[in-house]
Amino acid sequence: MNHTVKYLALFSLAFSLAACDDDGLDVRDMEIPQGYALSAGISTIFLNSSVAYDTQANWIDADPDYAMRFRDGDGLYDDTRTISGGLGPVYAGYSCGSCHRNAGRTKPELWNGGGSFGEGGSGSYGFSSMLVYISRKNGAFFQNYGRVLHDQAIYGVKPEGKLNVKWHYEKGAFPDGEPYELCYPEYSISEWYADSIAPEDLFCTVRIPLRHVGMGPMMAIDRHEIEQLAAKSNYPEYGISGRANYITEKGKLQLGLSGNKAQHADLTVELGFSSDLGVTNSRYPEEICEGQLQMQDGSMMGLTYDQLDISAEEMEDVDLYMQGLGVPARRDVDDPTVKRGEEMFYQAKCHLCHTVTLHTQPRGSTLLLGTQLTWLGSQTIHPYSDFLLHDMGSEIMGVGLNDNYVSGLARGNEWRTTPLWGIGLQEKVNGHTYFLHDGRARNFTEAILWHGGEGEASKNLFKQMKKEDRAALIRFLQSL
């Protein structure tokens, strides 16, 4: 019997015993396979396969209703939308799973050849698996487009435009002589459905999908602990000073947790269905291209606009699915190289932003319609993130990570610390190692080297390490 099967059997027995006593599971009842470590309390799973992001946490089976709703939400998440399912008239993805393959990050199309610049884009390949934000340079939105450029459309309807990219490459070297190369994108948009927008009046920022790992424990995080981290996050010797983002959603000012800039207080299920898929719902009842020519074109292709495309109850099932996903355990924790890499992680002061340990609030998390997930309460979790905003710098090789896009309190150069749990399995789950908000980093090393601003000191400490220590730090990241 392998470790995973043994763990599942022991977990089931422990759960059955605990359920008889107090209808709950104590994380201390879990037997941890050799070489593994918990990442998210009872939401931890012990899988290393391509479905490591897309497997339910064991507590889902505690309630038959949860299990059924999880399956329903999973189906809706992966459901390929059609005209009859509310897709379009314009859209960015044809299902949640189209951009978040296996609940991870679908390989970004911009790295494939054949775009208008001959280096990549949505022009030649169709589906891009990217989200394209556009605005005027004064921050205003374009009347005929809104905040997102939808580069896909149903048959017979013209997309809003097509994204193209030209890649620029710069070579460098570590102090010990080992070479590296960084690349950065130059975006342009063609095939505008309305009047073309002059490049000098356009800000364009591109996002590749986020990994949907640890969404439940993240939503259950003790907000006071995050605020305490913000108050503590002041390390002038390293230039680090993080702050929380606050966003007004549903008429309430709330702490932001999700999104590249912590610009959302929840998992944005309703917004995702609306903006990404064109699926109307109770929170966003209007079509995303309301008032545009695509509305009329959609009608001619058989679209009707007289009813909502998805119910609030169905969206809460998707919310349950995302929050009920398991978090892969840390692996190879006893490996000497991994241990050395962990030491290097601390030596480079990465932990000052990628906070190792946090806790969830006693009541757990709350779904869209008020369902309480108390299973997620009072857990010790290891997301490797403080969920705070940090200035990531504006000038590296003449460019930087500043995308000039404001989200809540977050300025263009500020980004939420990316949670690292499960990141080492991205290649196995999604077949690539593209990182950062737009996928410009092709591996862990490049991701580190793009750190500027508050990450500058850690980047320089990493660069000054011996080659084997740099490799050990990368091996540690691969174990998460």
CB-neighbour burial class of residue 293 (10 A; exposed 0-12, middle 13-18, buried 19+): middle
Tell me the C-alpha distance between 297 and 138, whole Å.
32
Is there a contact between 312 and 369 (Cβ–Cβ < 8 Å)? yes
pLDDT of residue 8: 40
pLDDT of residue 117: 35
Q: Which of 239, 259, 183, 244 is nearest to 455 (CA)?
A: 239
Write b or e for each residue in 451-470: b if 16 or more Cβ atoms lie within 10 A of its Cβ, otherwise e.
bbbbbbbbbeebbebeeebb
pLDDT of residue 398: 57
Is there a contact between 315 and 269 (Cβ–Cβ < 8 Å)? yes
Q: Which of 8, 100, 5 is nearest to 426 (CA)?
A: 100
pLDDT of residue 114: 35
326-to-47, 269, 333 alpha-carbon distances in Å: 9, 18, 19
Number of neighbours of residue 325 by Cβ within 10 angstroms: 28
Neighbouring residues of 122: CB distance < 8 A, sequence distance ≥ 6:
109, 110, 115, 128, 130, 151, 152, 162, 163, 164
- Residue 305 CA, chain-centre distance (Å), reads 31
The DSSP secondary-structure symbol of 312 reads: H
Cα-Cα-Cα-Cα dihedral sign, residues 167, 171, 172, 173: positive
Q: Which of 63, 73, 65 is nearest to 15 (CA)?
A: 63
Which tokens sit at 471?
A: 């490799």
Q: Which residue has the tokens 């790992």?
A: 213
Q: Which of 134, 108, 113, 112 is nearest to 189 (CA)?
A: 134
Q: What is the pTM of this model?
A: 0.91
Which tokens sit at 383?
A: 């997301």
Neighbouring residues of 147: CB distance < 8 A, sequence distance ≥ 6:
133, 134, 135, 141
Tell me the C-alpha distance between 115 and 437, whole Å.
20
Digit-by-digit pLDDT tens for the chain (480 residues) are 344 433 443 344 333 333 333 345 566 667 888 999 999 999 999 999 999 999 999 999 888 999 999 999 999 999 999 988 899 999 999 999 999 999 999 998 777 653 333 344 444 446 788 899 998 888 888 888 989 999 999 999 999 999 989 999 999 999 999 999 999 999 899 999 997 888 888 889 999 999 999 999 999 999 999 999 999 999 999 999 999 999 998 899 999 999 999 999 999 999 999 999 999 999 999 999 999 999 999 999 989 898 999 999 999 999 999 999 999 999 999 999 999 999 999 999 999 999 999 999 999 999 999 999 999 999 999 999 999 999 999 866 557 899 888 999 999 999 999 999 999 999 999 999 999 999 999 999 999 999 999 999 999 999 999 999 999 999 999 999
Q: Which of 478, 211, 163, 146 is nearest to 331 (CA)?
A: 478
Q: Which of helix, strand or coil describes residue 356?
A: coil
Is there a contact between 324 and 62 (Cβ–Cβ < 8 Å)? no
Tell me the C-alpha distance between 340 and 105, whole Å.
29
Residue 248: its H or E element? strand 246-249
Q: Where are the alpha helices (DSSP H) in 140-219?
A: 215-219
Q: Which of 239, 286, 280 is nearest to 81 (CA)?
A: 280
Q: Which of 186, 289, 247 is nearest to 389 (CA)?
A: 247
pLDDT of residue 337: 98
